[in-house]
Amino acid sequence: MRLRTLWRSGMIAVLTAAVAVSTAGPVSGAPRASAASRAALVPAVDREVRFTADGTIAYGTLHIPAHRAGRRLAAALLLPGSGPTDRNGDEPPDFTPHTLALMAGVLSGDGVMSLRFDKYGTGRTGLGGRTSAPAMAGYTRQAVAAYTTLRAQPEADPQALLVVGHSEGGLQALLVDRAVQPKPAGLALFAPQDMRLLDLIRGQLAADLNRAVATGQLTALQAALNNRGVARAVADFRAGRPVDTSGLLPSLSALLKGMFGPVNADFVRSDDALYPPSVARGVAPGTRTLVTCGTEDTNVPCRTLPSLLSALTAARTTGPGLRVLPGLDHLLHTAGTPVNDPVMAPAAQQALHDFVRPWRRFTQG
At residue 342, the pLDDT reads: 85
At residue 38, the pLDDT reads: 62
At residue 23, the pLDDT reads: 29
At residue 130, the pLDDT reads: 86
CATH fold of 6-15+41-196+286-362: Rossmann fold (3.40.50)
Pairing of strands 318-325, 288-294: parallel
Residue pLDDT tens, the chain, 365 long: 333 333 333 332 222 232 232 323 333 344 444 554 567 999 999 999 999 999 999 999 999 999 999 999 999 999 999 989 999 988 999 888 888 998 999 999 999 999 999 999 999 999 888 888 899 999 999 999 999 999 999 999 999 999 999 999 999 999 999 999 999 999 999 999 999 999 999 999 999 999 999 999 999 999 999 999 999 999 999 999 999 999 999 999 999 999 999 999 999 999 999 999 999 999 999 999 999 999 999 999 999 999 999 999 999 999 999 999 999 999 899 999 998 988 899 999 999 999 999 998 544 44
Total-model pTM: 0.88
Residue spans of the domains in the chain: they are 6-15+41-196+286-362, 198-267
